[in-house]
Structure 1
C-alpha cells in the first residue's frame, strides 16, 4: 500500500517578514538606505508605486527559503504603501529598480549572487552604492537590463525613475531629469522650509515698515493742513 504524502497548500506556507538580522552594516549604510527611502517616497507619491526597504522579496511561490532582502526596491503598477514582505506572484510585478548599499563584506553577494538573481527576475535597473568607498572605484555603479542581460549604466541616469543620480559625500543625490531640481533629503528640506519661513517673516516686516512710513507721511501732511485722502 502506497503512503500518501501531505502537500502544504499556499495558505499553510509561512513566509517570514523578519529574520532578526540587523538592517544595515554601519551608520553610513543605514543613513544612505533610509535617506534614499525618504527621498523617493514623496517623489513617487500619487503614483501606483511603492518603495520598500530591507524587506523580504519572495520570488518562488511555495518556497519560503527562496528570498532576498534588497536594501531599497521600487515597484511600479502596484498599490502604494508598505508591506511586511513582497511576494512577486501575489503583486504581479517585479521591482523596477533595486539599490544595494554595498561594502567590502557584502561585495561578492551583491556583485555576483544578487546581480545574477535580479537579472534573471527581470529587475530593470540594479544600483550598487558603496558609501564608505571600500571596494568600488566609483562609489556608484548601475546596471540596466538589455534583453536578458545587465549592461553598465554610463551616465548615472535611471530610466524607470527619470532621475539623475549623483554621489554626494556618503549619500546618493537625486535630480529630476525634466527640471534639474534636486529631490531634497530630510535635512535639506528642513533647512529649505526654515529659509522660506525666515524669508516670509522678513517680507512681512518690510511690508509693515513701509505701511508705518506711509502713515507717518500722512500724519505729517495733516499737520500741514493737507488731507492726504484727497490726494491723487
Structure 2
C-alpha cells in the first residue's frame, strides 16, 4: 500500500537521528514509554528482533523529511540491538507493532495522520495508550491490519507479540498468551530480585545453622567417647 515516490540522487543525503525535541511531554508519558521499551526488549532477548523508542523511522529512501518517531516500535527478522534511526529500505522490514503514548495534545495526530501512515506502511498492529485517560476512556486502544485497513482490537491481545495487554494504572501490563505469566516491569524485576536474594540469604543462614548444630553434636559426641568410650551398640 505504500505510495511509490521517485527517488532522487542519494549522494550526500543526511538522515538525522534527533530533532532536539523532548522525548515525552510529561513524566507519566516518559515512564510509560521507557517501561514498554524495557519490558518488550527483555521479552525479545536472543531473538531476531529489536525494540526502539522515540527514534526516527524513515520510510522513503532519498527523502529524509519523510519520517516519523514512534514512541515504541517492535521489528522482527532484523539484527538485534539498538539503532540511531531505522530505515525501512535498508533493514527490509516494516515494524510489526507500534505504540504511541498519547495525550490530549497529540490525539489528533495519533488517531489520524499517524494511524493513516502506519496503515499505509502495513504495520500489523497499532496501539494507543493514554496513561492519564485524557481522551481514551479505557486508556488503551489497539488496531490490527485486516486487508488494507485497521480494525479495532477488542480482546487486547497482540498477535505478533503473542501477549495480552492490560492497563495497570499508568503503564501497560504484558502477559504471555501461552502460560499467562506476566512480563515484569523494571520496578517489579528489582523487587523480585530483592525477594529472591533475601530467600537465598535466609536459606544460606539456615544451612549455616544446621552446619553449626552438626559440628556441635560431633564435638559433644567426641567428648562423650573420651569419658565413657564408644557408645553401646543396640
TM-score, structure 1 normalization: 0.91
CA distance in structure 1 between the aligned counterparts of 2:224 and 2:82, rounded to whole angstroms: 72
Alignment correspondent of 1:152? 152
Alignment correspondent of 1:4? none
State the 1:90 CA deviation. Answer: 1.1
Alignment correspondent of 1:3? none
Alignment correspondent of 2:184? 184
Alignment correspondent of 2:85? 85
Matched, 1:58 2:58: yes
Tell me: CA distance 1:58–1:221, structure 2 relative to 1, closer, same or farther (3 Å): same
Gaps of 5+ in 1: 1-6
State the 1:231 CA deviation. Answer: 8.6
Alignment correspondent of 1:26? 26
SS at match of 1:10: coil
State the 1:175 CA deviation. Answer: 1.2
Gaps of 5+ in 2: 1-6
State the 1:181 CA deviation. Answer: 1.6
State the 1:193 CA deviation. Answer: 0.9
CA distance in structure 2 between the aligned counterparts of 1:122 and 1:32, rounded to whole angstroms: 25
CA distance in structure 1 between the aligned counterparts of 2:202 and 2:82, rounded to whole angstroms: 41
State the 1:186 CA deviation. Answer: 1.2
CA distance in structure 2 between the aligned counterparts of 1:96 and 1:170, rounded to whole angstroms: 24
CA distance in structure 1 between the aligned counterparts of 2:233 and 2:82, rounded to whole angstroms: 65
SS at match of 1:82: coil
TM-score, structure 2 normalization: 0.91
Alignment correspondent of 2:129? 129
Tell me: CA distance 1:231–1:149, structure 2 relative to 1, closer, same or farther (3 Å): farther
> What count of residue pairs does the alignment treat as equivalent?
225
CA distance in structure 2 between the aligned counterparts of 1:169 and 1:231, rounded to whole angstroms: 69
Alignment correspondent of 2:3? none
State the 1:219 CA deviation. Answer: 2.9
Residue correspondence of structure 1 range 25-44 to structure 2 within 5 A: 25-44=25-44
State the 1:227 CA deviation. Answer: 5.3
Residue correspondence of structure 1 range 188-207 to structure 2 within 5 A: 188-207=188-207
Cα deviations by residue, 1:58-90 (Å, 9 ceiling, x for unpaired)? 111222111111000000111111111111111
Tell me: CA distance 1:220–1:110, structure 2 relative to 1, closer, same or farther (3 Å): same
Cα deviations by residue, 1:114-157 (Å, 9 ceiling, x for unpaired)? 11110111000000000011000110110011111111111111
Alignment correspondent of 1:97? 97
8 Å CA contact 1:221, 1:227 repeated in 2: no
CA distance in structure 1 between the aligned counterparts of 2:217 and 2:230, rounded to whole angstroms: 11
State the 1:217 CA deviation. Answer: 2.5
Matched, 1:72 2:72: yes
CA RMSD of aligned residues (A): 1.9
State the 1:197 CA deviation. Answer: 0.9
CA distance in structure 1 between the aligned counterparts of 2:17 and 2:215, rounded to whole angstroms: 68
CA distance in structure 2 between the aligned counterparts of 1:119 and 1:231, rounded to whole angstroms: 86
